[in-house]
């Protein structure tokens, strides 16, 4: 069915597309390296070194969040930066350890192993591999657009909850407590509270000093690496003051080697039970990482007009995680902090990320003995400041002020982060976001519109009066099976509010697709309005939707082609063909449309009969050809029941002007022994007069079906004549 094609079905169902995508994505480094010019190298070297100065302390700190050794964070920072740059799409995105994902990994690892054991390290690598494979599969299926469906409010809510988790988790390190790490927030709080009496004062003083120094340095601007300075000075304090001998815990030995294979370094392979235990959590890690990377890369790309390929970025992020998992790392993603620093430092190409990764590896090989003196409490102080800064308070306030639905998603994700296991929390937030997207897609906006003060535009303004005869409804959204019920309900509610609106115009410029359910909905709406004596018209149809309606037979069979109107002339056309002028003159006190401005309004009362349900008017109405044969009758009284101004412009030959209001007042005094012929513009006012005269016992009455419009369309003559007052009617 045209208009209802699933854009993903043709890709997912053709394996050759997947093979072609894999080939193109794997060859990405060739195009990346070709883009690096000689003039780009100095700027990228400076930017890469600057980002590395931040990546080193962050790698150590974020690994600490997941209860992993510092070298695991550094391996991940190096591998992620290099692979992510070579196979990614954004030239600014800095791939490596990130705080939120590190926190999400912690409860997953605690569920299968004990920190410090080989099983713990192998499980960390396995999560990265599983999450990477999931991202690669999404890229091959070209599901890159999925990140635009998952609301950023999910990330806002999760990061706010994650900051609280990090704050609580690092408190035990800054206090020097032996309280074990736990996957649940309340368990960590309980463990810390029960061990508060065992706080180690030198550790606490060093941690608080690092926290204060980190907070002060962060205010000095992005070119000052506060984490690196804070951790370096803390390690220097441990060395000069001999604090390790006084019970201050340090990170310990860091291997001076390139990243080894995970299972070789730990002398074990992951088993199937471990895979089963971690696969759901890995899906949450993959989803969170994609949202993080997409948010960071898209924000930075907009600043410089860079075009992103999210499918390529998915692939690059997937390969970076697989590589990190294979070579003694853990899950990684795009860091907004380091990516923004790369852009601010003048990064030009993907060489920046390659330099960052190489610098981290070089620092490990050269400075590993000194890095072992870094106190854990200093890392905790750095992380507490980072946790506070990772909450985007301005974005949260904007979301609360502008979007109730996204506020609900953000709040639900935040609460889930505090109460549920973190992997379920992030998946719940993403599912909630996707459900909101589906609901919005299934619930198009359907609302009435009226002309603005200039009569140039149609606007939604509930304070303005609406026409009692003509309803204008705007539809914005797809007409597909999930939306038709909502649209039908909104149209029904509108008719219940305005039961006199028997003519309905649907403005369709906001409808970009239509399936068979949408066609059937329109068909049912036409039938409903025609049963009420009205009709349906369409304006501003987009070509794809128009083609669907034509191919389905709706336009041409159910709805005549002349019912698809040009918006500029739609109201004028309907005034000539569907609007009952009697209602405009006697029953409606408003002037909704520009065409209403010339209508002479009169007092409203019960003496004006309601409009007949039969769209053809009264049974005594006849077509113009038959009506013209009655006019030469010598005793026939031909009355024009329009307003005098209308009569003066053009009328039937020999017609006398008797506005409907006057005819109704003196109906009983009209001659009963003469044929009475009635004419108006479209036949509606004449039909009203026929109903009244028939009720009074008149039988020699005939109306002109279709009015003067039909008369002129038949090529019959009209004439101009001065107005005849009711008391001047010739009764002879």
pLDDT digits (tens, 9 = 90+) for 339-359: 877 887 788 999 999 999 999
DSSP codes, 643-693: -HHHHHH-B-TTPEE--HHHHHHTGGGS-SSS-EEEE-SSSHHHHHHHHHH
pLDDT digits (tens, 9 = 90+) for 584-596: 877 787 889 988 8
- Is-contact 539 510, C-beta < 8 A? no
Q: Is 639 helix (H, G, I), strand (E, B) or coil?
A: strand
Question: 147-205: per-residue pLDDT in tens?
Answer: 655 667 877 887 788 788 878 888 888 998 887 766 678 788 888 888 888 889 999 99
| Catalytic-role residue among 514, 584, 588, 680 | 680
Query: Which of 125, 367, 163 lies closest to 251, judged by CA?
Result: 367
Distance CA(109)–CA(104), nearest Å, equals 9
Mean pLDDT of the region 46-63:
86
Give pLDDT tens digits for 636-695: 999 999 888 888 888 999 999 999 888 888 888 899 989 999 999 888 888 888 988 988
Max intra-chain CA distance, the chain: 130
Q: What is the pLDDT of residue 163?
A: 82
- Alpha carbon distance 244, 238 (integer Å): 6
Looking at 88-92, 151-155, 386-390, 451-455, which range is the least confident one?
151-155
Q: Which residue has the higher pLDDT, 372 or 723?
A: 372
- pTM exceeds 0.85, yes or no: no
pLDDT band at 699; cut points 50, 70, 90: confident
Active site annotation includes 584: no
Q: Which of 14-28, 257-271, 486-500 has the lowest mean pLDDT?
A: 14-28
Q: Residue 490: its pLDDT value, please? A: 92
pLDDT in tens, 546-602: 999 999 999 999 999 999 999 888 988 898 788 877 788 777 878 899 888 877 776
Cβ count within 10 A of residue 255: 16
User: Over pLDDT 90: what percentage of the chain?
Assistant: 43
Mean predicted lDDT score pLDDT of the chain: 85
pLDDT band for position 413 (50/70/90)?
Answer: confident
According to the model, what pLDDT value does residue 730 have?
45
- pLDDT on residue 723: 44
Label residue 531 by pLDDT band (50, 70, 90): confident
pLDDT given for residue 367 in this prediction: 85
Q: What percent of the chain has pLDDT over 70?
A: 91
Predicted confidence (pLDDT) at residue 6 exceeds the cutoff of 60: no
pLDDT band for position 509 (cuts 50, 70, 90): very high
Q: Give the confidence band of 2 by pLDDT, cuts at 50, 70, 90.
A: very low
Q: Find all residues with CB under 8 Å of 616, minimum gap 6, and list them.
A: 705
Residues 277 and 123: their CA atoms lie apart, in Å, by: 10
Domain range list for the chain: 9-29+41-250+257-438, 445-579, 621-728
- Virtual CA dihedral for 222, 223, 227, 233, nearest 10 degrees? -140
The pLDDT value given to residue 9 = 41
Classified as helix, coil or strand, 248 is coil
| Tens-place pLDDT, residues 210-246 | 999 989 988 886 566 787 788 889 989 999 999 988 8
On whether the 445-579 domain is CATH 3.30.750.24, my answer is yes
CATH number for the region 621-728 comes to: 3.40.250.10
The pLDDT value recorded for residue 222 is 58
* Residue 61 predicted with pLDDT over 50: yes
């Amino acid at each position: 069915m045209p208009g209802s094609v699933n854009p993903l079905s043709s890709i997912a169902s053709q394996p050759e597309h997947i093979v072609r995508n894999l080939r193109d994505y794997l060859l990405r480094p060739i195009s990346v390296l070709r883009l690096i010019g000689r003039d780009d190298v100095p700027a990228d070297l400076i930017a890469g070194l600057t980002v590395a100065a931040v990546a080193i302390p962050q790698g150590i700190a974020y690994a600490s969040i997941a209860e992993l050794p510092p070298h695991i964070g550094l391996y991940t920072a190096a591998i992620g930066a290099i692979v992510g740059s070579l196979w990614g799409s954004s030239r600014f995105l800095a791939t490596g350890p990130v705080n939120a994902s590190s926190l999400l990994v912690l409860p997953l690892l605690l569920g299968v192993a004990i920190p410090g054991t080989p099983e713990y390290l192998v499980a960390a690598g396995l999560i990265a591999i599983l999450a990477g494979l999931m991202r690669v599969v999404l890229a091959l299926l070209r599901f890159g657009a999925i990140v635009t469906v998952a609301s950023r409010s999910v990330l806002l809510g999760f990061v706010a909850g994650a900051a609280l988790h990090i704050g609580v988790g690092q408190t035990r390190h800054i206090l020097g407590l032996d309280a074990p790490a736990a996957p649940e927030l309340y368990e960590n709080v309980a463990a810390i509270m029960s061990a508060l009496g065992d706080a180690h004062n030198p550790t606490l003083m060093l941690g608080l000093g690092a926290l204060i120094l980190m907070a002060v340095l962060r205010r000095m601007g992005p070119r000052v690496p506060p984490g690196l300075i804070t951790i370096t000075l803390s390690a220097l304090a441990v060395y000069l003051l001999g604090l390790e001998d006084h019970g201050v815990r340090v990170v310990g030995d860091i291997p001076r080697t390139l990243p080894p294979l995970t299972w070789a370094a730990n002398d074990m392979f992951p088993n199937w039970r471990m895979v089963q235990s971690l696969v759901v959590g890995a899906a949450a890690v993959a989803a969170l990482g994609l949202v993080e990377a997409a948010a960071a890369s898209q924000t930075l790309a907009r600043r410089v007009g860079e075009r992103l390929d999210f499918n390529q970025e998915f692939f690059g992020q997937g390969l970076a995680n697989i590589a990190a998992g294979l070579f003694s790392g853990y899950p990684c993603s795009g860091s907004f902090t380091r990516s923004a620093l790369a852009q601010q430092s003048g990064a030009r190409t993907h060489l920046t990320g390659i330099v960052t990764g190489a610098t981290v590896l070089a620092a490990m090989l050269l400075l590993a003995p000194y890095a072992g003196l870094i106190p854990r409490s200093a890392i905790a102080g750095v992380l507490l400041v980072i946790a506070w800064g990772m909450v985007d308070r301005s974005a949260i306030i904007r979301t609360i002020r502008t979007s109730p639905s996204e506020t609900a998603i953000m709040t639900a994700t935040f609460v889930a982060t505090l109460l549920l296991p973190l992997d379920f929390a992030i998946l719940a937030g993403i599912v909630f976001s996707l459900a909101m997207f589906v609901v919005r897609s299934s619930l198009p906006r359907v609302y009435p519109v009226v002309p603005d003060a200039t009569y140039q535009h149609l606007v939604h303004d509930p304070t303005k009066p609406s026409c009692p005869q003509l309803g204008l409804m705007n539809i914005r959204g797809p007409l597909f099976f999930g939306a038709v019920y909502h649209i039908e309900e909104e149209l029904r509610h509108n008719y219940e509010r305005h039961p006199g609106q028997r003519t309905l115009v649907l403005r369709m410029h906001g409808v970009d697709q239509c399936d068979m359910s949408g066609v059937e909905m329109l068909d049912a709406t036409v039938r409903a309005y025609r049963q009420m004596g009205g009709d349906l018209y369409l304006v501003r149809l987009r070509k794809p939707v128009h083609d669907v309606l034509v191919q389905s037979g709706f336009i041409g069979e159910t709805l005549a082609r002349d019912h698809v109107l040009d918006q500029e002339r739609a109201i004028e056309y309907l005034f000539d063909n569907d609007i009952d002028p009697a209602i405009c003159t006697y029953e409606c006190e408003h002037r909704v449309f520009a065409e209403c401005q010339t209508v002479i309004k009169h007092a409203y009362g019960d003496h004006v009969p309601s409009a007949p349900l039969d769209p053809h008017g009264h049974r005594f109405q006849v077509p113009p050809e038959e009506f013209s044969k009655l006019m030469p009758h010598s005793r026939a009284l031909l009355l024009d029941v329009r307003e005098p101004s209308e009569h003066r412009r053009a009328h039937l030959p020999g017609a006398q002007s008797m506005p409907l209001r006057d005819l109704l007042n003196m109906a009983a005094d009209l001659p009963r022994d003469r044929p009475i012929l009635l004419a108006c513009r479209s036949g509606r006012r004449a039909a009203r007069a026929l109903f009244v005269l028939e009720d009074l016992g008149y039988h020699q009455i005939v109306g002109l079906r279709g009015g003067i419009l039909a008369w002129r369309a038949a090529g019959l003559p009209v004439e101009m004549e001065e107005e005849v007052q009711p008391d001047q009617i010739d009764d002879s």
